[in-house]
Every structure is written in C-alpha cells, then in structure tokens.
Chain A
Amino acid sequence: MDQLEHIIKGCRDEDPKAQKELYQMFAGRMFSLCLRYADNADEAKDNLQEGFIRVFRKINQYRFEGSFEGWIRRIMVNVSLQKYRDRLRMNPVYELESVREQVPESASDLLTEKELLQMISELPPRYRLVFNLYAIEGYSHREISEMLGITEGTSKSNLSRAREILQNKLKKYSEIKYRAG
C-alpha cells in the first residue's frame, strides 16, 4: 500500500491526521486551480475550503480506480463552477461584465505563474471558465457547453475571445519588458 492509498484509507475512517496529510499534499495545487477560476483570492480560498470538505465527506466514493488527484481536481472544478452559477443566478449580467484591462506596473521579471494567474483572473468570468476548462483542464467544447449551459458555438467563441485577450496581455507584457530591458 503506497503512502497516498494509506492516507486515503485513513480519511475514510475520518482519521484527523490522515485528513491533514491529504490536505497538505494537495492544498497547493488545488489552491492554484481555485485561483484560476475565482474572481479573487477570497473566493478561491472559500472554494478550496469547500472543496476539501466535500472531498472528505465523499471520499468513500473514490474506489481506487483512476487518479485520485484527478478526482479531487474535478471536485474543485465543480465547486468553482457552482460558485459561478450561483453568482450568475443572482446577477444575470455577471458573465457579460467587461474585461478588466490591467497592465502590470512592472514587467522587470520574466513572466511567472503568478503573472499568468493574474492575467487569467482579469478575464471576464465566462471567458475565464471556458479557457480554464478547455486549455488547462482539457475538456471538450461539448463538455463545457453541458457544464455551463451554453452552446458549443458559444464555448468556441468564448475561448477564441479569451485567447485574444490573453494574447494582447502577453504582448503588452513583452513590450513593457522589452522597453524596460
């Protein structure tokens, strides 16, 4: 029995030590995932918390078939999408909010993951979700359309627009870096 399997079985027995080990093992990657989907760090923190609570409550459903991290990631994505749908329900124009263009003040460093996260977080909500789901999580447009309740065409269009915005941001970064450089 490898370490992860041992920890998972401990979590099934609601062993606090095993739960904490599982959290420490995956919290960093899952928080990074949550940051990509959330509007801000507070929301990402909430999603991380809720996602892990859900993981611990449903860990009996994991049958040691397939990747455990994939299973956790799906739960985190689900939590993040649920937050998006909740917000959309309360504010129907949420997904149409304009792009928050923001050029970084300093481009003296190379493009980092932190900067990439920042760029993604500045996308309009639905563009952000579609881009994350397609480009990073690897879902198809058909799957995304089912997840978000949109058409495949809209998914493709949103992806295209997200790429366009991100490309412009990358270009601006490069220009600033070049000038600074």
Chain B
Amino acid sequence: MKPQEEHNVDKIFQRLAGYEAEPPDGVWDSIEEALGRKKKSRLMWFRLLSAAAILAFAVLSGYYFGRQSRPVASDLSQKNIPAATEAMTGNSHVPSFVPASDEKRNPAKNNPVRQRAGFVQMALENSTTSNEIRDEEENYLKEQQVSFPFLQLREPAMEMSTKWNLPGIKERLLLASLSSDEGIVVEPDEHTQNAPVRYFSLDGQAGPLLAFRNVHDGNREVLADASGISVKSKEEPLATYAGVLRVNYQVTKRISIGTGMGYSGMGLQWKESFSPSAYSFNGTDILQNKESVAYSGSSVGTANSLGNIPALEGLVSSRMASSVPAESSFSELKFVQQLGYVEVPVLIRYALTDGRLGVSLSTGIINHFLVRNTVFMNSANGKTDLGSTEGIRPWNYSGAAALGFDYHLTGNITMRLEPAFKYYLNPSNTTGSFSTHLFSFGVYSGLSYTFK
C-alpha cells in the first residue's frame, strides 16, 4: 500500500469513488451487439444481400470473362476426329469433335491492435497494506441533484452497508492485500471495438472437393462422341481434394485480408462400356479377355470438354484391328482426367459475428497454376496411365466465395469449417470451339492461429 498523503482536496473528491451515474441509453444494446447476440434484422438482411451480391458477381464475372476469352478452334479438332470412328459408324458427318461456328454463339453473352499486455496492471505484489487504510466516509452518498449538461446522475441504489464495500479505495485496499495471482488475472490491453485491430493469423485448411465443369457452346453436337452421344451427358464430377496455408492480416475487428498457397485438384471422369475383347492399348491387352468380340456400337473419342487425350486414339485404333466375334457381356472402363493447381489466393474475410461461435464470409480471387495433368483408365486389368490432356491452360484464376463457421478453442486457436465455391474465370481449355470453365464445391476444415 502506498504511503497515502492525506489532502483535503483528495478527501472531498473521494466521495466520487462509490458514486453512481445513470448510464446513457443504448449502451447495453451496443454491448449485446458487440457480443454477437443482438439480432438486427435490417443489418442481417443487408449482410445476406451483400453475400448474395458477391456470389452473383463472382459467377457472372466468370461467365462474362469466359465468353470474352473463348478459345478459337484449332486444327486439334480435325486431328481429334478418329478416322476409325468414321470407318466404324459410317457416319462421317457426326464427328467426335466439331468446331462450332461463331454464328451459333449468342453475341449478347460475349462480354484489437493488441497492445502489450499488462501495461496498466497494478503491481500488487509490490504493494503493502499496513499504512494505507483510510477512513471511509459513509456520508459520501448524499442525494444532491444539479443539472449539468452532460451528466445524468442517480442516487446509489444500494444499501449503505453494501455501498461501504464498494468504493474504489476499499477495493484497492482489498486488492492490494492479495498476491498477484489471487483472483486478479493480468488484464491485457485491447483496442476498442471500433478501432482497427491489427494482427496476423495463420490458417491451415484442407478438405474434400467436388470438381465440376461448365461448357459454353451453342451446339450440342460439339462434344458428341462417335455414337452421337454428347460427352456432356457422360462426364461426371470428380471427387478430389484441396488444401491451403494462408496468412491473414486483420485490418479491423471484422475485416481481414489474406493470401497464401495451396493445392487444389480438379478434373472429371466418365465411363465407357465395351464388350470384353482383345482390346489393347499400345500393344497391351487391357481386359485380358482372349475372346474376340463384336463391336459394341460405342467408341472412345480422343477429346472431351477439357481437351484432347492423344492416348485414346491408340486405344480405339487397336480395338479396330481386332476381330469381332459375338459377345454378350460388357465391361466398363472408367476414365479419370485429373488436373492439379497450385493456388495463390487473395481473399477478404468479413466476420458477420464474432462470438465464440463466429460466422464469416470470404470472397476474392484465386490464381491457379497447373502443376498436374494426368489421365488414367481403370479397367479389370487395373489402372492404365493414359498420359495427359492436351490444350489445358497453364494458368487460370477463379472467383471464390466461402462461408466460414468458426469456433474459438482458445484465445489464439480457432477451428474453422468452411464450405467454399470456386468458379474459374478463364476457360480451362485453350483449344476447341467451346469454352470449359471449371468450378468446384469444397468443404474445408482446419485451424487458425492468431499471433496476438
């Protein structure tokens, strides 16, 4: 306890230690809102509409840029018409890959700094209590009302006996008698709710991803295979995975920006049914069925909505060389086209709520760099590498939107579950008369560590 210097002025003003002033209206409402509990329907509507607008913008931007950057048809389209297909079907006017004319396109569619902790903490352990006890003046609280412009005071509501225990001096004396770890925990300084809160955080997230593609074309025959079946109807979404490590900078209490690096798989898959036969690929029997079979009536084109797969041409050609006895059963070949992108996102996150359970909305742009391009075929004989897909754009970027659900495990560690949507704004294909845009839905989960 400090050796208190008694002074008349001090004693007069010590009356204020236990005084109560009427808190202004609205403070409790503001506190509730800051605690993330106050439901302000208008604000919520505004936020939801904002989220919808951002999502719509991302999708429409992708569509617009996609139409703007539609790739021109290349000679690949002619290479990709397997001569064998025409020979088999006798239907030379239904190629597996036909450039669409420009006329068929729709022209309208072209287009709290956290301060150092404990700054103002009492050095309780350095305090002594022996000579600091002052006389309490129990008549501090007499009722006097004077109208000052900015103050609305009220008489203390509590009984005198209770009041006696409450003034700051009394509390100070009680506190000073405690050791530093007795009940009083160091109170770190924080910035105000409204002031900028600047710190970094590190996110690590990963999760499953379902990859889709969207083909812009005005001609359903463009992607028809040799039998006239649109490839679009065969191609299926591919289940893959993604992960990202991201550094975020908290600009204000609710807004942060972040960037980092990650990996995301994309691609597609489709199935083809063939009669078991002496199908061979580059001289290797695929199905290991020595019986020759009749032609099943379907074949594999070498191109699909992502690009051209030269290896498939070999598959078809080999098959055509085989003899064709009858066969009743069919085997299924599953083709998987896998693309892998290193991602560099630039995202902005807005915290809709900031309680222990937080909800946030993220949006931004992600740069994608192609690092993996493989095609393989699953058959009864196992997995057969079919090389890669030609004509994949090596660089791409996407618009992204995500809804994050946070749970604060500790002061620094947050667990996050984040469904996310990405739409690639460039066509993924550089050849062909159509444009294919990849998009994905993923559910990321991971941890975030806050450096503060």
Question: Which residues of A pack against B, CB within 8 Å?
Answer: 14, 16, 19-20, 23, 27-33, 35-36, 40-41, 45-46, 48-50, 52-54, 56, 58, 61-67, 69-71, 73-75, 77-79, 81-83, 85-86, 109-120, 131, 134-143, 146-147, 163, 166-167, 170
Contact = CB atoms under 8 A, between A and B. Distances in A.
A131 B2 CA distance: 14
Interface in B158-192: 165-166, 168-169, 171-176, 178, 182-185, 187, 189-192
A16 to B, nearest CB: 6
Interface string B24-47: 100110111011010000000000
Contacts of B127: 140, 143
- Ranked nearest first, the 9 interchain pairs of A and B with the lowest CB-CB distance are A65-B183, A140-B2, A28-B20, A66-B183, A70-B171, A138-B172, A112-B144, A41-B150, A61-B185
Given A66-B182, A116-B16, 17 more contacts: A27-B23, A32-B19, A32-B20, A45-B24, A61-B185, A65-B184, A70-B174, A74-B121, A77-B120, A81-B120, A112-B144, A113-B144, A115-B146, A115-B148, A116-B13, A116-B15, A143-B123
Contacts of B183: 62-67, 71
- Interface size class of chain B, counting residues whose CB lies under 8 Å from the partner chain: 35 or more
Contacts of A27: 23, 27-28
B228 interface: no
Given A82-B191, A110-B144, A16 B24 contact: no
Contact of B21 (A31, A70, A71, A73): A31
The secondary-structure label for the interface of chain B is loop
Nearest to B30: A49
Interface stretch (B3-11, B98-106, B285-293): B3-11
Given A20-B28, A120-B16, A138 B190 contact: no
A138 B7 CA distance: 13
Interface of B: 1-4, 7-10, 12-24, 27-28, 30-32, 34-35, 37, 115, 119-123, 126-127, 132, 144-146, 148, 150-151, 153-154, 156-157, 165-166, 168-169, 171-176, 178, 182-185, 187, 189-193, 195, 355-356
